Structure formats: C-alpha cells, structure tokens
Structure 1
Amino acid sequence: MNTLSKALELTHVSEDPKIPDDVWEQFARDTERDIRDSAPKEPSARAREVTERLRRQEERGELPEGWRTGPARQQKKSRRALWGVLGVAVAVVVAVVAVKPSLVPGDLFGGGTSSEAASSPLPEETAAPTAAPSAEASAIPTLDDPFAGSPAKRWADGAAGISVPKAEAVGGRSRAQVAKTLELTKKLLVESNLDPATLRGERPKAALDVLDPLQKDVRGLLETALRKPDEKHDPLWMFSRFDPKEARLVGDAVKTRGRMTFKAGDHASVAVHADYTFVYPVVQTNGSTEVTRTIIRRILDVEISDPAKYQVTPGKLSVVNWDQDINNSACEVYDGYLHPSFRSAEPTGPDPTGPTTDPYDRSKPLDPKRAEGCGTVSRV
C-alpha cells in the first residue's frame, strides 16, 4: 500500500476532535452529489427511439463521419467529475495532515524533521564560517553520549574530519609532490592530536618522524618539551596529551572540524595552512562518571622546499608557524599535560581573569592577546 493510501485509510474516520463534524458532513454531501451526477442513467423511451433512428441512418450512409464524438465529450465530462471527487478527497487528506501530521506514517514529503536535520553530520568546512555555531539544547554529557549539548556532535570523528584538498602543481612542485605534502600534513595532525598513545601522554614518535630533523630549532624545542616541560618548552604547543593518572578519553571518538589549504611558498616550496578544532570528551580516572570536554583549536603552517635549492630533508615537513587555543584546561600549569576542569573537582591553576570566549567559534582568527590572561569559556 502506498503512502497516500495509508493516509486516506487513517483519516477516513472522524475520530480526531480537531476536525469539525460539519466538515465531514459537507464532504459526504459533496461526494454523494458528484457521484450521483456522474453515474450512468437509464435512457428514456424517446432517447431509445432517437438512437434507433440514427442507427438506421448510419447503416444507409446518411450521417456524416465523426457524428459519434458527442459521447466522447460525455466521457470527458465523466472523467472530470471523477477527478473532482478525487480532488475533494485529496484536499481533505491535506487538511487533516496539516492539522495532525502524526496521522501520516513516515516522512510524507521526504523533507526530514528538524530534529533529524539537527543531528545529521555537517558537510566539510571549505571556507571560514561566518558565525559561531548556534546554541544547542542544554544537555549534560554522559558516558553514553559524551557530545550531548555540543555543536561538535555533528562534526566528523577523528581523522575523517581532516580532509585533504585536491592537489595541483604549485611553487615549482609537481602535483604528486603537493599531494605528498598534504598527506604528510594530515599525518602530523593525526599523530599529534588523535593518536591514542599520544593522548595517553606517550612519546609521539610517529609525529616527530614527519618533521625535518635538519630544522633543529623546532625539533630541539619539542624534544626538550617532551623530556622536561616548562613554560618555555611546552609540548602542548604541538601535541594533545592527558595525564593518564588524572583523566582518560571517553570512548574512541574525538570530534574534528576544520580545513586545509595550500599555495606556493617562499622557498621553492608548497606551503600548507591547516586550521582545525579538536573536541576531547574526558572523564577522571578516580571512578567518577562526570564527563567534560577540552576543546583545542590549532593553526599550523608547514612546507616542503626543493632539496636541490635548500638544505632540507626530502619528504619531511618544515614547520613555519604554529598557534593553539586550549579551552577548559588549567592555565599556567607547565607539566606537559592537559588538565580538564570538572565541576566536582577542585580547580587546578589560577582563577580565570581573561575574557569569556566561545571555543566552538571558528569564524574569527585567534586573538593574539589571549595569552595575557586565563580566560573563561561560554560553553564546553
């Protein structure tokens, strides 16, 4: 049975108190009248006499060709009457659905409900958003639904949220070389921010292996930061790491959203710009079931130069610039780990003194003055 038939069947009885009785009575009267007018009628004696006379004239060839088109017009009239009856029925169905859509099973028009649209995955981010994500319905994150109440619930999971653009030859680099640079950039982002071992605070060997060992200032800084972190050598500048004695990730998903672009660089190179936000749902390791979220936005600029012109290691990335905005983690704590804030736990680090910001707002560049004081977030 098709959808329209089901709707007609459901709305045939006037059990819905929202449909007035006089509407059903008028519908019944109109339907009965249209059917009565279009029904075949028994011909009178005069009509039978005329029909017989015309038949004899036709046999003698006394009537013009096409004289029987009159009944065809009558058939059209009958069809119009039938469509009129069906039109009234359809109009009643539409009226009933408008008053009470729940009577129709499924999605009659294929548009989907607003709740379905609100939970469907977002398309890839291809340009900077024009505004922050709209406010979500208030909901407390749980172990079963760690992204409840967060715009990140519609974001892609992990590496699926890091899309590599289509490669083209630029900066004296071939399309294949550009594609390789883009893939290495994605690998660095994944190994630095999504790899389970890195998130548990282990040494991010795979991420370090992507970087050019000849770029000693960057490699040296990161090696020192991992070995002996302090204010001037912080591994969180590049890597997302939680203290395994304090917090752990809830489930396997980290929500990711952002974009990657590329252009010709200044050193016979292809320069890649990456701008991504990572949302980590975490719980304390003390047995508590309270879930919170740490949100980190990372900006990363890397390039691969022509080894024939510059002293670089072929197939390795050189870091040109990095920046990060870490939210819902203790400020001014330099032990190399993220320290999420939980409502039930004592705060770590100094009290926030900076402005309130929305960590999900990707429509603006990072504020260069944000490091002057610990700020607060409008939502997590």
Structure 2
Amino acid sequence: MSDRPSDEDSSGSSISDAEWAKFVQDSAREIPASAPKEPSARARMVAERLRQEEARGATPQGWRTVADLQRTHERASRGKRRLWVFLGLPVVIALAAVAMRPSLLPGDPFGTGGPGAAVSASPLPAETAAPTAAPGAADAATPTIEHPFAGSPALRWADGAAGIVLPKATRVGSLSKAQVEQALQQTGKLLIDANLDPATLRGGRPETALSVIEPRQKELLDRLDTSLSKPDEKHDPLLMFSRFDPAELRLVGDVVKTRGRTTFEAGESGVVVVHADYTFVYPVMRVEKDAPTEVVRTIVRRVLDVELHDPDKYVVSPGKITVKRFDQEIGNSACDVYDGYMHPRFETAHSPTPTGAPATGPTKDPYDRSRDIAGDTDEGCGVVSRT
C-alpha cells in the first residue's frame, strides 16, 4: 500500500498538504526525544514539496521544515553548553581560590580566616590542679581592638569573674559547711574587686576588697589605705590591686581574661585556710587623641592565702578573713615606677608612658602557672618572653 492517502478519505473529506504537515509536526512533539526520528513516507513527500515551494519563494510565513527544526534544536543545545562553560569556569576558579583561602569570603562564614578565627577557639575547662608546664605557643597574631587576645594563650581562658571558680564547701574541723562557704565567698569578693572591678582598674578605691578583711589587721589596712592615697616605693597598691592611669590608658573592650584555682584546707584548730592562685590578662591602649591604635597586654599573677577563724574560739570579727600572704608577679609593666599604676610597654615610638629603670631580672613566661612565685621578688624586675 502507498503511504500517501488519497485526496479524499472514506468519508469523502479532503486533507490538504499543509494540514497533513501540521499533523505530522504536532505528532512529532509528542514523541519522546529517545524515539526514532525517521519521518514517514507522507512526511518525506510533504517536506520535499515544501522545499520545492521554498525554492520558488512560496513557503508560507512561519513554517519550518523538519530539518530546520532539528538544526534549531541543535543550535539551542550548543548554546546552553557554551553558556555553562562560560559561567562554570569562573565559578570553578573562584571555588578553588576559596578552598585555598577561605578568608577571601566576607564575614569569614566558615570561621577559619583572619585574626578573628581566634574568637571561635573553644574555652579551656576550669583549672583543678597546678599545671605541670607553661601553655604551648599560641598562633602568631597581633592584638587589635577587635581581637585584643589574638596570639595569647589567654584567648581560651574564662572571661572575668567566670574564671574564679570556687570549690564546693565542706565542714572543716569546728567550722561548719556554711562558714567554709563564707570564707570562700569572701576570698572571691576580694579577688574580683581587686583585679576585675572596672572602677578599681581605673584607679578607684576597692571598697569591697577592703571591707572583707579582718578589721583587726589594722597595720595591713593602714598600709593599703596609704598606698591608694599616697603611693610610693614602700606603699605600692599594685601589691594587692590592679590599676591603670585613666589619663594614660584604657582597657580594650570589657573583658579581662582569668585563669586559676581556689582550694581550702584545715589550719589550726578552728581555722580554715583558703589558697587562691590566679592570673589576669589586661589588654590596654593609649587614650591620647593622636596615639597609634596599638593594643598591648599586661599579665598579673596573684597568689593569696587567707584564713577564717571560728569566732567561738578566737577574738575575730565574724565573717571577715585574715590575709596571711599576698604575692604578685606583673608582666609587661615599667620597672621601679611607684605612682600606683601599671605602665605597659608599647612597641611604637610614640610612648609617653613612664619607662622606669632597665630590667635586671631573668626572662620569664608570664603565662607559666606551673612556677611557684614565692621569693621571686628578690630577683628584681625581669623581662617577659611573651604577652
């Protein structure tokens, strides 16, 4: 049988060549792309007739042959591939660059780039025993206003009073659990007010610290009072309190890093002895209008022994603590300057801070909490190995 139908079907209706070509074209759209594309004999004949009409300039406007449609589809496919290569190659290059240097992305979304990466460092657990060695070297970084603890082991230390973790109180001899807890709390108040209170750090009078000390320690209290009002070599408030001259320096941010531990044990009958050993790290910068925005750190370690006596056995003020020992080690502060303030050294040439006497003592790591600082005061003012 011939593929070409007669000009009239069995019902007598007539189908024009144009209508038949449209039918073939519409049917082709419904065939999956994977189906064979071989046109029927009728389609080949219609296509040939249309090509001949096109050669004579008689092809209806808007019509395309099967070959034309195929070529259009191939051109569109090639165009998409070219677009993907054009867009894909720069994207691949950019992704490779970011993989090698994530800090190129704004905001450091992966938390790995620049000095700000240090901010995400996990905090250390509370110190429960004396360290056996100095902390390892931190990543080399320069402290800035945004990241004042960059390049310091203190980056992972607790913030301020959160680093003063008091042990759980227990009964000691004739002292109840509540009395031992009181001794611990009073020691904590002294440490916080003397080393962390913003007013004290700006040179203010540490009233809370003074108020927890046994009033019968009159000689000590008089000495501290004189050191705060008229500091000199024999009356140095830095022996007990951390202070900066507000006309010269200001703290960078509102965080002082703290690390240490508090322990207690039974003393003489009716006495509990509290031992505190803490290091505080202070980032500071100059306040002069035209001073460089350089950030430096001063590190202060304080060792404190206090006692609380059973008021039923001793003539004492109930709830007050007796200070038996207070040693300190100050890193990065001018030697032999007795104006009552710490004066850290700045690297920039513009430095109006007192320089003091040359350092004569040994070089020490101010972050090394494994050393006992008892008796170190005889070694003179030394040099710090890092800040």
TM-score, with structure 1 as normaliser: 0.68
Residue number in structure 2 paired with 1:209: 211
SS in 1 for 2:238: helix
In the alignment, the residues of structure 2 paired with residue 370 and residue 314 of structure 1 have an alpha-carbon distance, to the nearest angstrom, of: 33
Q: 1:357 and 2:357 equivalent?
A: no
Superposition misfits of 4+ residues, deviation over 4 angstroms: 115-118
Q: 1:126 and 2:128 equivalent?
A: yes
Measured after TM superposition, the shift of residue 369 of structure 1 is 3.7
Q: 1:373 and 2:383 equivalent?
A: no
Query: Which one-letter code corresponds to 1:167 in the other structure?
Result: A
1:274 to 260, 273, 276: 276
1:167 to 161, 169, 173: 169
* Alpha carbons of structure 1 residues 199 and 148: separation in structure 2 relative to 1, 3 Å: same
2:142 to 116, 140, 144: 140
Which residues of 2 match residues 232-243 of structure 1 at below 5 A? Answer: 232-243=234-245
Residue number in structure 2 paired with 1:319: 323
Measured after TM superposition, the shift of residue 172 of structure 1 is 1.5
Residue number in structure 2 paired with 1:336: 340
1:42-64 CA distances to partner (integer Å, 9 max, x unpaired)? Answer: xxxxxxxxxxxxxxxxxxxxxxx
SS in 1 for 2:275: strand
Query: Which one-letter code corresponds to 2:157 in the other structure?
Result: W
Which residues of 2 match residues 1-380 of structure 1 at below 5 A? Answer: 119-266=121-268, 268-287=270-289, 288-344=292-348, 345=351, 348-366=355-373, 368-380=375-387
Measured after TM superposition, the shift of residue 266 of structure 1 is 2.1
* Alpha carbons of structure 1 residues 337 and 267: separation in structure 2 relative to 1, 3 Å: farther
1:143-166 CA distances to partner (integer Å, 9 max, x unpaired)? Answer: 000000000000000000000101
Is 1:158–1:255's contact at 8 Å kept on the other side of the alignment? yes
Is 2:118–2:150's contact at 8 Å kept on the other side of the alignment? no
Is 1:171–1:263's contact at 8 Å kept on the other side of the alignment? no
In the alignment, the residues of structure 2 paired with residue 225 and residue 254 of structure 1 have an alpha-carbon distance, to the nearest angstrom, of: 24
Measured after TM superposition, the shift of residue 197 of structure 1 is 0.3
1:72-93 CA distances to partner (integer Å, 9 max, x unpaired)? Answer: xxxxxxxxxxxxxxxxxxxxxx
Q: List alignment gaps of at least 5 residues for structure 1.
A: 1-101, 103-111
In the alignment, the residues of structure 1 paired with residue 269 and residue 221 of structure 2 have an alpha-carbon distance, to the nearest angstrom, of: 20
Is 1:210–1:316's contact at 8 Å kept on the other side of the alignment? yes
In the alignment, the residues of structure 1 paired with residue 200 and residue 173 of structure 2 have an alpha-carbon distance, to the nearest angstrom, of: 33
1:176-228 CA distances to partner (integer Å, 9 max, x unpaired)? Answer: 11111111111110000000000000111111111111111211111111121
TM-score, with structure 2 as normaliser: 0.67
In the alignment, the residues of structure 2 paired with residue 376 and residue 135 of structure 1 have an alpha-carbon distance, to the nearest angstrom, of: 18
Measured after TM superposition, the shift of residue 373 of structure 1 is 2.1
In the alignment, the residues of structure 2 paired with residue 283 and residue 185 of structure 1 have an alpha-carbon distance, to the nearest angstrom, of: 30
In the alignment, the residues of structure 2 paired with residue 120 and residue 219 of structure 1 have an alpha-carbon distance, to the nearest angstrom, of: 41
Is 1:283–1:290's contact at 8 Å kept on the other side of the alignment? yes
Based on CA coordinates, which of the two structures has the bigger radius of gyration?
2
Query: Which one-letter code corresponds to 2:206 in the other structure?
Result: P
Measured after TM superposition, the shift of residue 116 of structure 1 is 8.7
* Alpha carbons of structure 1 residues 249 and 325: separation in structure 2 relative to 1, 3 Å: same
Query: Which one-letter code corresponds to 2:313 in the other structure?
Result: K
In the alignment, the residues of structure 2 paired with residue 325 and residue 214 of structure 1 have an alpha-carbon distance, to the nearest angstrom, of: 27
RMSD over aligned CA atoms reads 1.9
Aligned residues: 269
